[in-house]
Amino acid sequence: MNVTKYFAVFYTEQIYFLPQFLPVAKEMKRRGLPYLIVLKGTTSRDMFDQNERIIKICEDKNLSFQLGINGLDNASIEYLICGGDEHPDVNIPYKKSVLIVHGIGTKRSAFAEEKNKFDIRFIEGDFRLRKLKELYPDAKTILENVGFSKLDDVLAMSNEEVDKMYETYGFDRCKKTLLYAPTFYPSSLERMPNNFPEQFKDYNLIIKPHFFSYIRKKYKRQRRKLDIWAKYKNVYVAGFDDFNIVPFYALADLLISDESSVVFEFAALDKPVILNRFLKLRLTYRLFGQRKLRKRMEPAMDQFRDLGENIWHYKDLKKGVEKELASPENFKQRRAECTHEIIGLVDGKVSVRMVDVLEKNHSDKTK
């Protein structure tokens, strides 16, 4: 019986894990190492079925992929690469498991003991490495501080590619470009007014919501807000197919976000960020106050929130944007310090270092 051999299978529980995986997959392809992207697909009743659209995205990008795990029973797989909060309980034969987290994250799950089940974990920056060794000194997981692979692609983008984006989105080259990228929860999205784009009419405005804002049924208020904003001429609202925020990093002059790890990713490119601290909280969070919110969020990450202007009320947002665009060097030193601690080396070669590590730890050293 013929056995299909894969150097790595990227187990992709959500399509927004792909931006972290793709630079690594490209490097494997460059070295002739066979890989497969396995898409988990829609499984929750709370989510709209997006399987067909995900398949179309992967086909358009000419990726080696399949939906589900059928046919992998007899495959020979060296590495199962994951990006979620938990070690997956999935019936795929593999020799070693690898964690490449999909985001830096401000939630407690980033330091959960569950992640010690992985054989190899790639780390971003000295802070997380120190904390993990402090929390779990006896853990057997191999920790490799290599950086954040997602940023490799933005550093590789050419000026011609960026110029083409101006044309694609119909943006005015004489205007600065803002990227508003809120997370789904806790989020500032629903606290932003319907005429938000009108108040920022002097800018090109990209709005990139979290993927869950589109596919989870309970976020219908967020989708209604996005529909309103999409009608403004200076706005491009990224849709379902725009799963990868990386190209928008290259185009934008400033980022506005909230509890999303994109804050740290964008700041690592030495561009100014605004942190919206006015968040829409669910009823239970409002009833039980900060205590419930603290249980969800990682307090150790609070020290890095000063890498940009913190805005506590929407009325102060425009002033904050103007201030940071006029003097982008305001938080330059702090951005560099935070990047060193929680992103690591930003040189466009993170994926190269990752594949180097995987080849070094390959079970067949004679290959």
310-362 pLDDT, tens digit per residue, is 999 999 999 999 999 999 999 999 999 999 999 999 999 999 999 999 999 99
- Chain mean pLDDT for the chain: 91
CATH architecture of 5-148+346-360: 3-Layer(aba) Sandwich (3.40)
Q: Tell me whether domains 5-148+346-360 and 165-342 share a fold.
A: yes
Residue 296: pLDDT band (50, 70, 90) is low
Say if residue 311 is exposed, middle or buried (CB neighbours under 10 Å; 0-12, 13-18, 19+).
Answer: buried
pLDDT value, residue 273: 98
CA dihedral 120, 132, 306, 338 (to 10 degrees): -50
Highest mean pLDDT among 31-40, 82-91, 282-291: 31-40
Domain-wise residue ranges, the chain: 5-148+346-360, 165-342
The two three-digit tokens of residue 3, written as one number = 């056995």
- What end-to-end distance do the CA atoms of the chain give, in Å? 22
pLDDT tens figures, 58-114: 999 899 999 999 999 889 999 999 998 889 888 899 999 999 998 886 666 778 899
**Architecture label for domain 165-342:** 3-Layer(aba) Sandwich (3.40)
For residue 145, give the H/E element and its range. strand 142-145
